[in-house]
Structure 1
C-alpha cells in the first residue's frame, strides 16, 4: 500500500521515540548518579535494550499474532491475567514517560529569564507541566497527527541538533579548549553504572512502539527488525556523545540544576564564539520542541495501545470504546488526567525511576519468554539471557540505591508500584472475588 511506512519512517519513529524527549528528561537524573560515568550507564542500558529488541523481533517472527509484549504473552503463555498485567505495566510506563517529558518541558521553560519560577507564591513548574499535557490531550482529541515524511523531517532536525552539539562539544573539549576529559572509569567498579543504567532505561523504550501498529508498516516483520537494530545503537551513540560533553562542560550545572545542564553546556561551548546566549537558546528551544512532541507521540501511541487492551477485555470499558475509529476521546482524557497528576506531584527522579522500572520488568519478561522458546523457534539463547539478566539486575540495584540516597523517592516509587500491582490483581482476579465474596458481581460492575 502506498501509504504504508518503509524502513526510513520506521527508523524515524523508533529513534524519535527514544531521542525525542529522553535525553532532555533523563540526562540530568542519570548524571546526578554517575557524573562522568554517565555515558557507561547509557551503553549498558542500550545493550540490554538491544537484547530485548532481539527477543521482540524473534517472537514477532515466530508468532501468529502481531502486537508486541501483550500478544506474545497471550499467544505463547496463554495466561490472560499475566498478559493484562504486562499491558497495564506498559501503560503506566507510558504515563510515567509522558509525565517525565512534561516535567522536563517545564524545567526548560522556566530556564528562560523571562519565565519566573513562581507567581503569587505558586510554583510554576507543575502548572506549566500540566498545561503542556492538557495542550497535547486537546491536539490528540482533535486528531492532529504528522505524516511519515513530516516525522522524518522532525526527527532529522532533533537528531541533527544533538549530533552537532555532541560533535562540536568533543572538538571543543579536545583541540579547542585543551581541557582534560575525565570519563569516570574509577566509578565503573561499583554499582553506580548499574544504577545509572537502570535509571536511564526509560530512554530506550521508544522502539517497541513499532510493534503496536504493524498494519501501517510495509513488510512489518523484516522492516521492524532492521529498524530496531539501527535505531537503538544510533540512540546509544547520541546519548554517549551528549553525556560526555555535558558532564565535562557543565559539572557545576549538573549539581545545581541538572535538568537543564545540557543548555548550560551548549552555552559554554558556543561562548568560544561569543554566542553563549545563542547556545542556551537553541538547546532550550530544541528541548521544548522535543519533549512536547514526545508527549504528543507517546499519548497517541499509548491511546492506541489502551484501545487494544480495552478491545481484549484487559482494561475496563469505562476508559473508552474498544471498537471506536481511532483513539477513543475518553481514553485520551483518562491518560491525560493520570499523566497530569503524576507530573504535578512527583519529582523527576521518582517519575523517571518508576517509568524505568515498568519497562525493565516488561522487557525482562519478554526476554525470559524468548529464552524459554529458544529450542522451538530457533532463537539464539545469548541475547535473551543478557536481556533478562541485565533487566532484572537493574531493578533491585536501582531500588536499593534510591532507598539509601533518596528515601523519599524510594517510598514514592514503591507506593506507586504496590498500588499499580494491587489494582491489576483486583481487576484481573475479579472472577475469583465474585466467587469468594458475596455481593461482588464482576460482570455487572465491569471492573
Structure 2
C-alpha cells in the first residue's frame, strides 16, 4: 500500500509529494539547461577559474539551501521566501522577495523555452518555445503529481546524457590536465562573476520550498530533500565542468555556443553530438516545467495576500492546483518567448534570485534554536555571498535587476499609500 495522500481543505493544495518526488523536482530545476549554457560565459569571465566560481556558487547555494530548508520546515506553505520574509521580517521584505522571484524566474522561463527551441529547430526557435510553454503549462494544470512524474523521466534522460559526455571525454586521448591550470589573466572579479553566472544553474532547489503546501510531512521531507538535490547537482556539475575543460581548455570553451557538443567532437565521438543536442532540449524543457511550477506557486501566495490580483489565488476544485496563476504565468512567458531576445536573461535572473535568497538568509537569522535555527555562520555567509555575487554580475544585469527591484519596492509603497488614503 502506498503512503496516503494528505487531504486538502477548501482553497488548499493537496500534499502529494514525498522525499523522492521533492528531490526529483529539485534536480529537474537544477540539472537543466544551465549546465549546457552557463559554462561558456563563466569561462569567458574567469577562464579555468570557473571551477573556483563553481565551488563558490555551490557554497552560497548551500547556505541558501540550509536557510530555506529550516524556514520551509517551519512554514510549509506555498510561496517560499515570500512567506518567510513576511513572517520573520515584515510585509515589505516578503513582498520584495516574491517580486524578485516572480520577475527573475519569469525571465528564466523564457530563456529555458528559447534554449529548447534553439536545439530542437533553430530557425523556428521562438515558435517552438511558445509551443513548449503551452504544453508544459497544460501538464502543470493537470496536477503536481503528473508534473513530478514527468520531471523524473526528464532527470533520468539528462543524467544519462551528461554521464555519456563525461565518459566519452575521460576515455579519450584528447584531454590535457594542464588545461585546468589557472591562467595569469584569472582575477578575483572574474571568479566572482563566473560564480554569479553559474549560480543561475543552482537556484532550482527553491522549487522544493515553494511547493511546501504540496509536500507530505514537510518538517521532515523538505530539510532532507533540499541538501540531497543540491549535493547530487554539485557532483554532476563538477564532473561535467572538469571534463569539458580537460578537452577544450578555457579559451576554446569561452568561444563556443554549445560546449558539450563541442566537447564530444573534440573527444573524437561526433556521433554523440545529436544525442547531446537532444539532451539539452530535454533539460531545457525539464527546467521550464519546474520553473512554471514554482513561479505559479509564489504568484498564488502573493495573490492570497492581494499583492497580486486576488483572482489568481483560486485553486482548481478537481486538480487542486492554482490554475489561474498557472495560466497567467504561462501566458506571460509565452509572450516573452515569442518576442524577446533573452541572451542576457541568465544574468538578470541571477540578480533577482540572489536578492530573493539574501532575504531568505536574513529571515533564517531570526529563527530561535527551538525553531530550528541553523548555525549563525550560515545565514551570515549566505546573505553576504548573495549580495557580493549579485553585484559582481555583468553591469547590464546589475542595472536591469536594480531597476526592477526598485520598481517593485515603489509599487509596494504606492499600494500602501493608497490603502492609507482610503481608510
- Aligning the two structures, in what range does the TM-score lie when normalised by the shorter sequence? 0.7 to 0.9
Match of 1:370 among 359, 364, 367: 364
In structure 1, C-alpha distance between the alignment counterparts of 2:57 and 2:195, rounded to whole Å: 5
Matches within 5 A, 1:193-204: 193-204=191-202
Question: CA 1:86–1:224 in 2, change beyond 3 Å: closer, same or farther?
Answer: same
SS in 1 for 2:146: coil
Match of 2:314 among 305, 308, 322: 322
Q: What is the deviation of 1:139?
A: 4.3
Matches within 5 A, 1:262-277: 262-269=260-267, 271=268, 275-276=269-270
In structure 2, C-alpha distance between the alignment counterparts of 1:216 and 1:62, rounded to whole Å: 14
Residue by residue over 1:337-388, the C-alpha shift from the partner in whole angstroms, topping out at 9 and shown as x without a partner, is 4324444555444200111011111111211222344667553111111111
Is the counterpart of residue 179 in structure 1 residue 185 in structure 2?
no
Residue by residue over 1:63-99, the C-alpha shift from the partner in whole angstroms, topping out at 9 and shown as x without a partner, is 586752122122222x223212211111112212212
Matches within 5 A, 1:375-386: 377=371, 378-386=373-381
Partners of 2:28 and 2:286 within 8 A in 1? no
Q: What is the deviation of 1:193?
A: 0.9
Match of 1:394 among 389, 411, 423: 389
- Worse overlay, 21-30 or 351-360: 21-30
Task: Report the counterpart of residue 335 of structure 1 in structure 2.
Answer: 329
Is the counterpart of residue 95 in structure 1 residue 106 in structure 2?
yes
Question: CA 1:55–1:188 in 2, change beyond 3 Å: closer, same or farther?
Answer: farther
Match of 2:84 among 66, 72, 75: 72
Question: CA 1:181–1:220 in 2, change beyond 3 Å: closer, same or farther?
Answer: farther
Residue by residue over 1:209-263, the C-alpha shift from the partner in whole angstroms, topping out at 9 and shown as x without a partner, is 11233344333222221222222122112112212222343457645442x2211
Question: CA 1:201–1:66 in 2, change beyond 3 Å: closer, same or farther?
Answer: same
Match of 1:352 among 346, 356, 361: 346
Question: CA 1:379–1:329 in 2, change beyond 3 Å: closer, same or farther?
Answer: closer
Is the counterpart of residue 31 in structure 1 residue 43 in structure 2?
yes
Point out where structure 1 has 5 or more consecutive residues left out of the alignment.
Answer: 118-123, 404-409
In structure 1, C-alpha distance between the alignment counterparts of 2:75 and 2:150, rounded to whole Å: 32
Task: Report the counterpart of residue 302 of structure 2 in structure 1.
Answer: 309
Task: Report the counterpart of residue 9 of structure 2 in structure 1.
Answer: none
Question: CA 1:299–1:360 in 2, change beyond 3 Å: closer, same or farther?
Answer: same
Q: What is the deviation of 1:329?
A: 4.7
Point out where structure 2 has 5 or more consecutive residues left out of the alignment.
Answer: 6-15
Root-mean-square deviation (Å) = 3.0
- Worse overlay, 337-346 or 290-299: 337-346
Partners of 2:17 and 2:145 within 8 A in 1? no
In structure 1, C-alpha distance between the alignment counterparts of 2:116 and 2:182, rounded to whole Å: 32
Q: What is the deviation of 1:434?
A: 5.5
Q: TM-score, normalised by structure 2?
A: 0.85
Question: CA 1:69–1:416 in 2, change beyond 3 Å: closer, same or farther?
Answer: closer
Residue by residue over 1:273-306, the C-alpha shift from the partner in whole angstroms, topping out at 9 and shown as x without a partner, is xx41x21111000111111122122213322321
Q: What is the deviation of 1:132?
A: 3.0
Residue by residue over 1:85-143, the C-alpha shift from the partner in whole angstroms, topping out at 9 and shown as x without a partner, is 21111111221221221232133235xxxx5x4xxxxxx44444334334433444566
Residue by residue over 1:149-172, the C-alpha shift from the partner in whole angstroms, topping out at 9 and shown as x without a partner, is 554343223223213322442333
Matches within 5 A, 1:24-423: 24-62=36-74, 67-77=79-89, 79-110=90-121, 117=123, 124-141=124-141, 146=146, 148=148, 151-172=151-172, 176-177=173-174, 179-186=176-183, 189-250=187-248, 254-258=253-257, 260-269=258-267, 271=268, 275-276=269-270, 278-317=271-310, 320-325=312-317, 326-344=320-338, 346-373=340-367, 377=371, 378-398=373-393, 402-403=394-395, 410=396, 414-415=399-400, 417-423=402-408
In structure 2, C-alpha distance between the alignment counterparts of 1:344 and 1:254, rounded to whole Å: 29
Number of aligned residue pairs: give it: 406
